[in-house]
Structure 1
């Protein structure tokens, strides 16, 4: 059954918005196709999570924001995320879905690296954008992807040419100051042959305001290339989050995902890595904390097509209060992916009797000559660990905090930027307090 969505958005609105942004005809047509499909397609059906009553379009789509000339104009919370001068030198900042500041070092520009907001990239690098946009997360997958395509209002384009290694992290910040403004960001990363890059993303949300975050990331990892994608997601409790991150990895390429999924609102998060080339590898690590009455659904999936491909999945979650979450780890090895290896672990720590967390490791194997394994656990704080720490004079609250931080540490340690790692730890401590 198709879910009807009441909205004031129309074909005329989308056309007017696209014209106002100065977009090319091909992008307008893409938006209009998304708009038309949004009325025909059904919502996705995440396992054991009913999203039919979740917010789809109750948000402000567009506000005007003035550019910022210097990072010194930013509020303290945003400056802390960016960190030192090196971080401020390679960064793109969005405020309420609008690009307001960006910087890229002359050295990286001279090497042909492109790192800019999507609106600018469409105007300056349209051919590249058209080649890759909506190729991994397609418009017609379901209602949410169609709505996303129609209403994209922000995003990042990161392009690294062949044989170029970027040895400093490139940062983006999506700063939602107005809690009613919806974020519809599209992240597009292209790393060509034998290149290397680390992309670091922060989402900072207002405490009050009902809105939607309909997010898509597409990552193209070329032969021999290496991409690290690190993110800390932290929007407010009244923001509904639909998050789709997807990567395709060519021969001998590698992608690292290090995701701190800290949103306080209802969340569907789908992370997919396609290991299409021989010798391709993927490592997906995710940390989640649920609290209040959140409902969340997380998928980490690796699909192996390449021979001798290797996919590693690790997910650690802490659930408290009356929060509910489903965690599906999926390793799928296709016929012909001989010598492939798929390993996964999902662990959930519950801090209250009302919290619920389901960890489901899934292996789908269509090839004989492979190795694969899985592990899963759901439980409460280890009383022996707690007793040991308390017997050393540590108060119970502090002992529980240390156990939780130790439980989440395997993912936290993968964050490639010290400032971002520190922020993730601060968010974790605030959420479990």
Structure 2
């Protein structure tokens, strides 16, 4: 049931007592205190064209729900193993509900100083790095009520640090298994690629539940230092009736690249914020998002690439399919700040509706404070192309199969960009499930 925002309060004493009982670091407990103290004074998010005053982002049943731990990959649940190439995977972190369940990192990478740890342990083991990067340059703790709420109730996530000039050839994969209806997900990903480093990170949120009334509050911070390159892929598939806020943020320095390939297949009602700051000269970001909405699901996507650096390049590509009575808002923003000369901001949003009750809005926005730049946008909202269907059906293909082929082709721009074959296959299966159900 929806809560009145002004009536909701965080229990500071309870939060701190439980954090102390878990043996958390002074740094992390300090962040929780700071979040609770600022919570009441902060503004609520106001996503464009979506009213969230009746959405219940709060009232978490339990701050931490335990899961199982595993000694080997073979012990992992079948649904998780389907996301992993057991013969090839070298670097993987698994979280079961709110419990760090399994970690495997190539010994050669450890010797080079690569860090992959659950974020709560990392706050104790690597305080100098967490204090430097956690909710500082990426997402600010006091950005809004939901970022403070996230810091107060943080209950999972992973910290990844890649030292200078270390280039990781095999992806680092994170899998979060959600199979308890009382488990909320306040996950935080902090990925730092130091100067000249390269890494591919792929995360999966997977649930075998049909529904849960718990909350999703996920924040990812990706920091790419000078000449670093980060490829970030994700497939999210969480159940119906959850309420969520997902904020993925990137900061790129000189000659750095942050590329995103996101398969956002959740059945929950979620507000998505994906913003990349191109702070450095010649910095780059390529953002691809694919989404399928079904039933009465509500989604709002705000995707921004903000240019500060000269000769920076930012491209946004979003494709969504809406069916049943699902609604989705696609807000794309390319913002070129004064001084970002010769910046290039491009974006494209396409929405395909499969029923008369489905609704999708695509809103491309260009904000330009500089003269010597290149910018462009395209947007379309429509139904399945009858000519394409007719052509396929004239070759003996049934209407249902023809629609399936058209939809897969429509979404393939993002699907094909995912960097792990097993995850790419999973996304195709999820698309199949959501479109044909």
Smaller-chain TM-score bracket? over 0.9
Aligned mate of 1:151, from 135, 150, 153: 153
* Shift, 1:38, TM fit: 2.0
Partner of 1:138: 140
Name stretches of at least 5 consecutive residues in structure 1 with no aligned partner.
none
Partner of 1:129: 130
Partner of 2:5: 3
What secondary structure is seen at the aligned counterpart in 2 of 1:81? coil
Aligned mate of 2:424, from 416, 421, 426: 421
Counting only pairs closer than 5 Å after superposition, residues 32-43 of structure 1 correspond to structure 2 as: 32-43=33-44
Q: Give yes or no for the alignment of 1:430 onto 2:430.
A: no
Aligned mate of 1:292, from 288, 295, 300: 295
Structure 1: distance between partners of 2:27 and 2:198: 30
Aligned mate of 2:71, from 69, 72, 90: 69
Asked whether the 8 Å contact 1:179–1:207 carries over to 2, the reply is no
Partner of 2:30: 29
Asked whether the 8 Å contact 1:253–1:279 carries over to 2, the reply is yes
Describe the superposition over 1:401-424 as per-residue Cα deviations: whole angstroms up to 9, x where unpaired. Answer: 000000000111100010000000
Q: Which moved more, 1:15-24 or 1:407-416?
A: 15-24
Asked whether the 8 Å contact 1:58–1:210 carries over to 2, the reply is no
Structure 2: distance between partners of 1:16 and 1:86: 42
Structure 1: distance between partners of 2:5 and 2:132: 32
Instruction: Kindly report structure 1 stretches of 4+ aligned residues shifted beyond 4 Å.
Output: none
Partner of 1:404: 407
**TM-score normalised per structure 1:** 0.97
Partner of 2:306: 303
Q: Give yes or no for the alignment of 1:279 onto 2:268.
A: no
Aligned mate of 2:216, from 210, 213, 217: 213
Describe the superposition over 1:141-190 as per-residue Cα deviations: whole angstroms up to 9, x where unpaired. Answer: 11101100100000110100011000001000111110221000010000
Partner of 1:357: 360
Q: Give yes or no for the alignment of 1:193 onto 2:219.
A: no
* Shift, 1:67, TM fit: 2.3
Q: Give yes or no for the alignment of 1:320 onto 2:323.
A: yes
* Shift, 1:58, TM fit: 3.3
Partner of 2:98: 97
| RMSD of equivalent CA atoms | 1.2
Q: Which moved more, 1:397-406 or 1:46-55?
A: 46-55
* Shift, 1:5, TM fit: 4.4
* Shift, 1:20, TM fit: 2.0
What secondary structure is seen at the aligned counterpart in 2 of 1:139? coil
Structure 1: distance between partners of 2:351 and 2:95: 33
Structure 2: distance between partners of 1:250 and 1:21: 36
Partner of 1:204: 206
Q: Which moved more, 1:214-223 or 1:56-65?
A: 56-65
Asked whether the 8 Å contact 1:413–1:421 carries over to 2, the reply is yes
Q: Give yes or no for the alignment of 1:233 onto 2:252.
A: no
Name stretches of at least 5 consecutive residues in structure 2 with no aligned partner.
none
* Shift, 1:22, TM fit: 1.6
Structure 2: distance between partners of 1:64 and 1:306: 44
Structure 2: distance between partners of 1:82 and 1:21: 30
Structure 2: distance between partners of 1:286 and 1:427: 15
Structure 2: distance between partners of 1:348 and 1:207: 26
* Shift, 1:100, TM fit: 1.1
Structure 1: distance between partners of 2:22 and 2:289: 35
* Shift, 1:383, TM fit: 0.1
Q: Which moved more, 1:164-173 or 1:39-48?
A: 39-48
Q: Give yes or no for the alignment of 1:246 onto 2:246.
A: no
What secondary structure is seen at the aligned counterpart in 1 of 2:203? strand
Structure 2: distance between partners of 1:119 and 1:201: 18
Structure 1: distance between partners of 2:47 and 2:76: 38
Describe the superposition over 1:187-245 as per-residue Cα deviations: whole angstroms up to 9, x where unpaired. Answer: 00000111100000000122232111100000100111100000001100111120000
Q: Give yes or no for the alignment of 1:262 onto 2:285.
A: no
What secondary structure is seen at the aligned counterpart in 2 of 1:85? coil
Structure 2: distance between partners of 1:85 and 1:98: 25
Q: Which moved more, 1:269-278 or 1:115-124?
A: 115-124
What secondary structure is seen at the aligned counterpart in 2 of 1:56? coil
Asked whether the 8 Å contact 1:363–1:372 carries over to 2, the reply is yes
What is the aligned residue count?
430
What secondary structure is seen at the aligned counterpart in 2 of 1:236? coil
Asked whether the 8 Å contact 2:66–2:96 carries over to 1, the reply is no
* Shift, 1:55, TM fit: 2.0
